[in-house]
Amino acid sequence: MPKIVDHEQYRKELLGKCFDLFAQKGYGSITMREIAQNLGVSTGTLYHYFPSKESLFEHLVEEICEQDLSAALGELGGKKGISEAMTALGRYLEKNEDYFIKWTYIWVGFCQHQDSKEQSNNVYMRANQRYQQAACDFLGIRDRELATFVLSFIDGLLLGKLQGNKMINFPEQCALLGKMLTAYLQQQESEQLKIRN
């Protein structure tokens, strides 16, 4: 069934091009006409591939949820120590700042949209768990709480940047996180040694 493959692939292509638009304007402020125009298709075509604006938006979020992580892991995977990992993370965030900020816009818009439908969507549940696992792997830790801490901090940096806070410097802040993690883990270790002795 080659036709379905084409159909599916074209959908993904369209979704990819939507990303910026939804990020810049938000679900409620963008129009199907604008989207169609930017994608270079007619509104009819848009509706041929997606039954509604809402559906389009939801597909967009799902699509980028799936892509996002694998790209990051590919680039960041295989670091040895926390310090090295944090340096890499800082650079990575800095390089992809624009993308992540857009990502955050879409993400928040999506949550708002889901909330207003009073649907407990598990799209982000699943995404969050994958992120947490990835964080554990990346840092070589097993403490879920700590992974949550790190992820929250990164989210916070992105939120800050999104808000135009120019004082945030990704490498700097990641380095700081690295130092704090190291200091904290060392302390934990030495405390555990004391207890055992």
Task: By CB under 7 A, name the binding residues for DNA.
Answer: 1-5, 7, 10, 30-34, 41-45, 47-49, 51-54
Q: Which stretch binds a copy of itself (CB under 8 A): 8-16, 32-40, 52-60, 116-124?
A: 116-124
- Residue-wise burial string across 104-139, b where 16 or more C-beta atoms lie within 10 A, e elsewhere: bbbbebbeebbeeeeeeeeebeebeebbeebbbebb
Convert residues 150-189 into a mask of x (bound to a copy of itself by CB under 8 A) and - (unbound).
Answer: -xxxxxxx-xx-xxxx-xx---xx--xx-xxx-xx-xx--
Is the torsion defined by CA of 90, 96, 100, 102 positive or negative? Answer: positive
Spatial distance between the Cα atoms of 114 and 173, rounded to a whole number of angstroms: 32
Contact partner at residue 24 from a copy of itself, DNA, none, CB < 5 to 8 Å by partner kind: a copy of itself
Between the CA atoms of 31, 32, 38 and 43, what dihedral angle is there, to the nearest 10 degrees? -150
Query: Residue 36, interface with a copy of itself (CB under 8 A)?
Result: no
Query: Residue 24, interface with a copy of itself (CB under 8 A)?
Result: yes
User: Which is nearer to a copy of itself, 12 or 126 (by Cβ)?
Assistant: 126
User: Which is nearer to DNA, 60 or 150 (by Cβ)?
Assistant: 60
